[in-house]
Amino acid sequence: MQTKRNVLPVALMPVLAGLAFILGLNFFGCASTPPREQVPTPYGRAGPAQAKTFFPAKIKKVVVDAGHGGKDPGAIGKTIGAREKDINLDIARRLSKLLKDDGIEVVMTRSSDRFVSLSRRVDIANASGADLFISVHSNANRARSLNGFEVYYVSEKANDAKRALAAARSRPLRLKDAFFADNSLNLRAIVWDMIYTQNRGQAIELSRALCRAMADNLEVKILGVKGARFQVLWGANMPAVLIETGFLSNSSEERKLKNSFYRQKIAEAIEEGVRKYSWEAQLIAEAGRR
């Protein structure tokens, strides 16, 4: 039965859009769950004013990780046989060039069609001392109608205490002008836990910036910013995000991803997202010092 239920919301859309714009929100689903005030910080669930002072002053080095490669093709499209490993590598290369043009140092976990294990990718990232980690993937799903872009960060559900203890056992802390009176494993684990919490907050901000840039520059459905437990993000000791550029299981999105012009547009949107995140981070860091 037809009802008039939808009439009022449709009429209100321009008003809501205007209001959302004023409030800094958007209708493209780039806000993540949990909402901003729910993002845990090293000070517990402190407000954004305190959390913001944690941003790095400047993004100098970025790890660009092209998902899959070599014997691992990743997803394969059914319409024209596009292979995820090739799409990911091409976007990663384009992104690296754009970031380098911005004066940012780039470390690629692979720059050719070769297999690199997930643990090796994490090791490369952590040894690089980079400010951000960006993993580029393309999606696939049994529901072939599913399409769109999404960005992932390490889920709040990830066991940070376990992660922190593993890091405390295996990774030295880079502390220049500080020392611990008590250099116990537990104390180091607490520091790692704080680092992970802080990184998650920054990864969420970066995810939102990337999502907004994609929404602004590409005609793509925005599926949003989400938390997940990808191994490659879990192990990274810097703010880390994983981008699913589109669904190779969807025939029209597969055709788009196979197009080099579209891949360039994706790379440009990611670069814009990183640049805006970096700019906002600097602004906030400076404001916090005053």
**CA atoms of 276 and 185, how far apart (whole Å):** 37
In Å, how far are 39, 44, 73, 134, 255 from 198, measured between CA atoms?
Answer: 10, 11, 33, 17, 38
Binds Zn ion by CB under 5 A, chosen from 69, 74, 235, 246: 74
* Shortest Å, Cβ 212 to Zn ion: 23
Please report, to the nearest 10 degrees, the dihedral formed by the alpha carbons of residues 150, 129, 180, 286 taken in order: -70
As measured in angstroms, the least distance from the Cβ of 260 to Zn ion is: 20
67 is a contact residue toward Zn ion (CB under 5 A): yes
Q: Provide the residue type at 242 as one letter.
A: L
Decide whether 99 or 248 has the Cβ nearer to Zn ion. 248
Taking the least distance from each CB to Zn ion, the nearer of 71 and 290 is 71
Closer by beta carbon to Zn ion, 74 or else 227: 74
Distance CA 39, CA 155 (A): 11
Q: Which is nearer to Zn ion, 53 or 117 (CB)?
A: 117
**Using CB under 5 A, which of the segments 53-61, 62-70, 184-192, 275-283 binds Zn ion?**
62-70
Q: Would you say 121 or 137 has its CB closer to Zn ion? A: 137
CA distances from 140 to 17, 66, 83, 206, 247 (A): 31, 16, 11, 24, 5
Comparison of 67 and 148: residue with beta carbon closer to Zn ion: 67
Count of residues that interact with Zn ion, criterion CB under 5 A: 3
Q: In whole angstroms, how large is the CA radius of gyration of the chain?
A: 20
Rounded to 10 deg, the angle between the 260-289 and 84-101 helix axes is: 50
Give me the residues paired with residue 61 across strands.
105
In angstroms, rounded to a whole number, what is the distance separating the alpha carbons of residues 136 and 243? Answer: 5
- Please report whether residue 246 would count as binding Zn ion according to CB under 5 A: no
Shortest distance (Å) from residue 206 CB to Zn ion: 19
Contacts with Zn ion, 129-168, as mask; x by CB under 5 A: --------x-------------------------------
Ramachandran assignment for 53, one of left (phi > 0), alpha (psi -120 to 50 degrees), beta (any other): alpha
Residue 201: CB minimum distance to Zn ion, A? 25
Whole-angstrom distance, CA of residue 247 vs CA of residue 250:
5
- Least distance between Zn ion and beta carbon 117 (Å): 14
Q: Which residue is nearest to Zn ion (CB)?
A: 137
Question: Residue 67 or 273: which CB sits closer to Zn ion?
Answer: 67
Rounded to a whole number of angstroms, the minimum distance from the CB of residue 74 to Zn ion is 4
Binding site for Zn ion (CB under 5 A): 67, 74, 137
